[in-house]
Amino acid sequence: MSNQPATSSPVPLEAKSPYELRTVLSKNIPDNVIKQSLDTGDIGFLHSFTTGSTVDGPGVRVVVWTAGCQFRCLYCHNPDTWSLSNGMPVPLERAVEQLKKYRTGLQRMSGGLTISGGEPLMQHRFVMKLFTAARAMGIHTTIETNGYYGDRLTDQDLEVIDLVMLGIKTWDPERHRHLTRMDVEPTLAFARRLAAQRRKIWIRFVLVPGLTDDLDDIANIARFAGGLGNVERVEVLPFHQLGSFKWERLGLPYTLTAVQPPTPELTERVCGIFRSEGLTAY
């Protein structure tokens, strides 16, 4: 069998939104080919490309949604991106060609490329190759990450990333493990490293009533973020139920069915906690 996976697929690379449910697009790819692809970064496993986003970084963005995530956030909107094998195998050249189509428009609209997921750093070599190609085309680069694998990036890699959008889920280590099944410290260590290098970050915080709305916990995140000195803005993202159908369709136990989005008053109060530490928060 060839070492190159078949990449023709009835599923188009572009999706209307990341809320399209996509599964098992790599189910026939042998493990050794997946491993080789991760080692070389010559093939990415992607949920999709979307265009025209105004909420995933500065200006208007093309977003590459990667497959694979080591977190299991209870509120995840895209659990179909947890498994690498749900992603579509996309050779680097094809991803670069796709990006090239948008180059002029992105530059005109002061936008760029955002790589999100899933967790992009599960495929850090592919991500860095795509960012390097984007930079060579004069396209602004942003990564949206939970930061857990930040240590996979060299300082040289960081040079190629214009903006890091870092998700901080909660402060308390126990609560973080309950919420994501993983430790919070690697995320915080990545934030400190970016701060030491004066690299620009936006912090993303998902506000979920009953889960992440402990105001003392939020104050701890705010104090940490305010002390970093490199946080350009904080985005407080109100929880919603748009991805809940995916849990059901994937047969995953979803525990937040009864949870309502936070009130505008609570969201504003949380923004106020971040602002009280000298941060810009929306």
Cβ proximity to ligand SF4, 76 vs 115, nearer residue: 76
In which element (H, E) is residue 246 found?
A: helix 244-250
d(CA 74, CA 233): 25
Shortest approach of ligand SF4 to residue 246 CB, angstroms? 10
Residue ranges of the alpha helices (H) in 82-231? 92-100, 103-108, 124-136, 155-159, 173-180, 185-196, 215-228
Cβ proximity to ligand SF4, 71 vs 205, nearer residue: 71
Shortest approach of ligand SF4 to residue 208 CB, angstroms? 11
Shortest approach of ligand SF4 to residue 168 CB, angstroms? 11
Shortest approach of ligand SF4 to residue 145 CB, angstroms? 8
Shortest approach of ligand SF4 to residue 164 CB, angstroms? 14
Q: Residue 239 corresponds to which tokens in the numbers above?
A: 């929880």
The residue ranges that bind ligand SF4 (CB under 6 A) are 69, 71-73, 76, 78, 81, 117-119, 146
Q: How close are the terminal C-alpha atoms of the chain, in Å? A: 52
Cβ proximity to ligand SF4, 4 vs 70, nearer residue: 70
Cβ proximity to ligand SF4, 23 vs 146, nearer residue: 146
Angle among Cα 268, 274, 277 to the nearest 5 degrees reads 140
Q: 3-state class of 165 per DSSP?
A: strand
Q: Which residues contact 278 (CB under 8 A, 6 or more apart)?
A: 226
Cβ proximity to ligand SF4, 5 vs 117, nearer residue: 117
